[in-house]
Structure 1
Amino acid sequence: MAKYEACILGLQAAIDFKVKELEVFGDSMLTIFQTLGQWKTKDAKLVPYHEYLEELAENFEKISFTYTPRIKNQFADALATLASMVSITKENLIEPLEIEIAKGPAHCDAIETTDEQPWYENIKHFLQTGQYPTFANQRDKKTLRRLAAHYFLSGE
């Protein structure tokens, strides 16, 4: 039952986070193979868990369940064991991390350049060659390195 409950809690969390595609890995052959329909759920105590798990799975556009033997899942198993040993009290309570999603409009400023090169030409050249423009001073070079860190060349 505990493995079913853990899987159910994981699916509920994924639903809360509006996950559309999910890969579930578990070391419980019973839970995974019953969910995949390869084994029948004979134990009457597990039937409600199994049915609820299937109901939750319908909330995803794509979901897969994969059995992973515990021997191949040692790091996750060790992490779970370690987490179960931690005693959370008011003194060491960890506040949840709040992530804010900005839904406001994005703003774009159109800047016309005087030459024929696109605005990103110096960044692209720096990423391709690692060389600075000939006119660049120390401040320009620092700015170019900072800007280039936010880009990568795809397919070039």
Structure 2
Amino acid sequence: MTEYEAYVLGIRVIIRQNIKTLRVYRDSALVVYQLQGEWETKDIKLVEYKKLILDLLKEFDEVTFHYVPREENYMADALATLTVAFKAGGKLNMMSIDMQLYEYPDHCYQIEEVKDKKPWYHDILQYIKIQSYPEEATENNKRTIRRMATGYVFDGEILYKRSHNQVLLSCVDVREGKMILEEVHDGVCGTHANGHMMARKFMR
């Protein structure tokens, strides 16, 4: 509902500017694909929002929607940061702000990417399955792997992390983790559980 509210407010402002070509970039796949008609709008609370927005869009000659994944939506993150950093009133003259767009977020340049394409839990899984260690593992590394492995359970083809309350959390790689977070954020999983519970997949 918050995403739809943002659409309504933004479109009404644009209509007042007499703009006739509209390109919408949002990081909510749910709203973008619902407005495009690719996804069905099942939630009764959103049906009226969708109807209102489609009526407003009749004011434009051309409208296109573009889904931008949240991790790529750098401009929105930067503007949100600036919003909470500055307090401006009607009588305050704001200095101009120069912004530069980098290919990756700054923290990504500080992280050394692993190139072997193996999931983070690969060594633990290999030890549990066949009691093997990485070729370069020292005795200290082997002890660490054995100690860590006691907190995991292998069932079928899935490795689980045993939590402090004995709940088994399935281990996922980076690709699966991103997919799960996107689905939770976009509401694909429905409302039978809150976001925190739905995100309790063990990943790294």
TM-score by length of 1: 0.55
Q: What displacement does 1:75 show?
A: 2.5
Q: What displacement does 1:79 show?
A: 1.0
Between the two proteins, what is the percent identity of the paired residues? Answer: 40
Q: What displacement does 1:74 show?
A: 1.8
Q: What displacement does 1:47 show?
A: 0.6
Q: What displacement does 1:77 show?
A: 2.1
1:132-147 matches, cutoff 5 A? none
2-side partners of 1:20 and 1:95: how far apart? 32
* Corresponding residue for residue 61 of structure 1: 61
* Corresponding residue for residue 12 of structure 1: 12
* Corresponding residue for residue 27 of structure 1: 27
Q: Does 1:94 align with 2:90?
A: yes
- When the two chains are superposed, the root-mean-square deviation of aligned CA atoms in Å is 2.1
Aligned length: 93
Q: What displacement does 1:26 show?
A: 0.4
2-side partners of 1:51 and 1:32: how far apart? 14
* Corresponding residue for residue 149 of structure 1: none
Q: Does 1:73 align with 2:105?
A: no
Distance 1:95 1:5, change over 3 A: farther
Q: Which has the higher contact order (CA 8 A, sep 6+)?
A: 1
Q: What displacement does 1:86 show?
A: 5.3
SS at match of 1:23: strand
* Corresponding residue for residue 45 of structure 1: 45
2-side partners of 1:53 and 1:13: how far apart? 13
Structure 2's unaligned 5+ residue stretches are 93-204
Q: What displacement does 1:82 show?
A: 3.2
Q: What displacement does 1:23 show?
A: 0.3
